[in-house]
Amino acid sequence: MSRAQARATVPVTIDGRQVKAVDGERILDLARREGVPIPTLCDLEGLSVHGGCRLCLVEVGEGARLHPACGTEISEDQQIRTDSPTLRDHRRRIVELLFAEGNHVCSVCVSNGSCELQTLATETGVDHIHYELEHPRHDVDASHPLFSLDRERCVLCTRCVRVCDEIEGAAVWDITQRGGESRLVAEMDVPWGEATSCTSCGKCVQVCPTGALSRRGSATGEMRHDPQIAAFLARAREHGEWIDRPPAPNGDGPRSGPKAGGS
């Protein structure tokens, strides 16, 4: 019996359809299990909840307030709507703002075709930007021997921050400043290549939703990310797959799972 099955279930309605939800689980988890699409950039299975992108907002009950699906727990008889004119307009505007705040020129991006922001723009119908473009000017940090950082394409989702801290345990990344001055930094704002805590595992590059973090030498459209690695590693650790096991009862010798460390 799975952990979800062992917990109590409660009836809820999602987009007019009554389903059984696990008491206390997130709306976003329920939606994913039921095959209901809710867009998000910052949320990633295997990492802690951040709630920063605000793309996953849904309507709950009759109130006008929108609720983040990633941080709102299920309760009995909830009425959840994941799709409405209000929500579609909200998500389209959020995507437009993300494009306006950075320099996301897809045609010359290493992640062209493998970019979650690009996919969201297609799904939300963003074909032009209604807001004034900020045109930030940040240097590309190519000081690391394996990877590079292009802050002009960073959406501040903090996936890299969380995977480095929670999965790799190195805590290389952080966000400095506030508002429009916010930016991703390594350690105490040193060039990435000088960050002594970096293990060069590449997990931050794999979970990045855009072309902000990439492998050095990648040309336009060549970078392919693997964000599922966070959930894979989190599950492996939860189940003790990297712990050396004692010899099997039949005397075949020790059995051990893969060691931690690489991506």
Query: Looking at residue 198, what is its pLDDT?
Result: 98
Q: Are 13 and 78 in contact (CB under 8 A)?
A: yes
User: What are the residue ranges of CATH 3.30.70.20 in the chain?
Assistant: 89-236
Q: Could you tell me where the DSSP H helices lie in the chain?
A: 3-6, 27-33, 85-101, 116-124, 159-162, 203-207, 229-238
pLDDT at 260: 38
CA distance 199 to 209: 21
Tokens 């292009």 belong to residue: 150
Residue 189 tokens read as 């704002």
Cα(113)–Cα(96) distance, integer angstroms: 18
CA distance 50 to 54: 10
Instruction: Judge contact between 53 and 41, C-beta under 8 A.
Output: yes
Pick the CATH number of 89-236 from 2.60.120.10, 3.50.50.60, 3.30.70.20, 3.30.565.10: 3.30.70.20
pTM of the model: 0.86
pLDDT score, position 4: 46
Task: Tell me the pLDDT of the chain (263 aa) as tens digits.
Answer: 444 456 789 999 999 999 999 988 999 999 999 999 999 999 999 999 999 999 999 999 988 899 999 999 999 999 999 999 999 999 999 999 999 999 999 999 999 999 999 999 999 999 999 999 988 888 899 999 999 999 999 999 999 999 999 999 999 999 999 988 999 999 999 999 999 999 999 999 999 999 999 999 999 999 999 999 999 999 998 888 766 555 544 444 333 333 334 44
Decide: 81 and 58 in contact? Cβ < 8 Å: yes
In whole angstroms, what is the distance from residue 245 CA to residue 247 CA? 7
Q: What angle do CA 184, 172, 227 make, to 5 degrees?
A: 75
The CATH 3.10.20.740 domain(s) of the chain lie at 3-83
**167 exposed, middle or buried (CB, 10 Å; 0-12, 13-18, 19+)?**
buried
Pairing of strands 213-215, 147-150: antiparallel
CATH 3.40.390.10 fits 3-83, yes or no: no
Classify residue 230 as exposed, middle or buried by CB count within 10 Å of its CB (0-12, 13-18, 19+): buried
